[in-house]
Structure 1
């Protein structure tokens, strides 16, 4: 039986504003990549429970369509693999209103590091959810 890939959760939304546009009056790719890297590292930090996580690798970036001024886009990110010191994520971006795909990235790899920037094992093997982390934190306080 083949393992089922976790479902992408589209939770982060961005509004395309004038300062985000390129000379073609569409969303500047560099702005979108910055937003993705920021959201992905936050996801990795929460999954690995460590604020010291660094971007190691981003696979081919497939720009599918170009958002325009006023569009609302949403980013979907999910963990697809846990290494000894790393976590691999997948990202998709779509137009919130039309659900038209904007971008896809198959692999973003982040590494768990110590205070000296050296890779360290994280001990995680599966996705955790905020409700589970909150329940575990509450249980340790009681």
Structure 2
């Protein structure tokens, strides 16, 4: 699992019990899944289609630093399937897991659009390839 984002749990992120509000962490997961998908599919028009069972395993308190990890399960024709883990940065204790998040690639009219991707790509590799192409190298 690659952990991409860290969040600092602040007072406005807490529920009435003084722990991390589940809705807040779900919003962070949804945003992270969207950002990851936008970068992988190279399209700003990506939406959440599905989230499987969400398993709350522990909690976080004010001042804790959490990190959000995303992995690709598979590439579909118009979608990308991800899984996610949110954990405490310092203890690595899992806070939340989501086994399957399906994000759909859209065209300008909001319809599902094939993305042509079959594997994870890294921006640094895309940039290196672009440099080679600009220099006329294969």
User: Where on the TM-score scale, by shorter chain, does this alignment land: which range?
Assistant: over 0.9
TM-score (norm 1): 0.92
Residue 94 of structure 2 corresponds to residue 101 of structure 1: yes
CA deviation vs aligned residue, 1:107-135 (integer Å, no higher than 9, x gap): 00001110000001100011111221221
The CA distance in 1 between the partners of 2:132 and 2:46, in whole Å, is 26
Q: Deviations over 1:30-63 (max 9, x none)?
A: 1101111111101001111111111100000000
1:135 aligned partner = 128
Give the RMSD, CA atoms, in angstroms: 0.9
**Residues 1:17 and 2:10 aligned together:** yes
Match of 2:61 in 1: 68
Structure 1 equivalent of residue 113 of structure 2: 120
Distance in 2 of aligned mates of 1:30 and 1:136? 40
Q: Distance in 2 between matches of 1:60 and 1:80?
A: 15
Between the aligned partners of 1:139 and 1:46, the Cα distance in structure 2 is 21
Rounded Cα–Cα distance in structure 1 between residues aligned with 2:131 and 2:9: 38
Query: Corresponding residue for 1:37?
Result: 30
Gaps of 5+ in 2: none
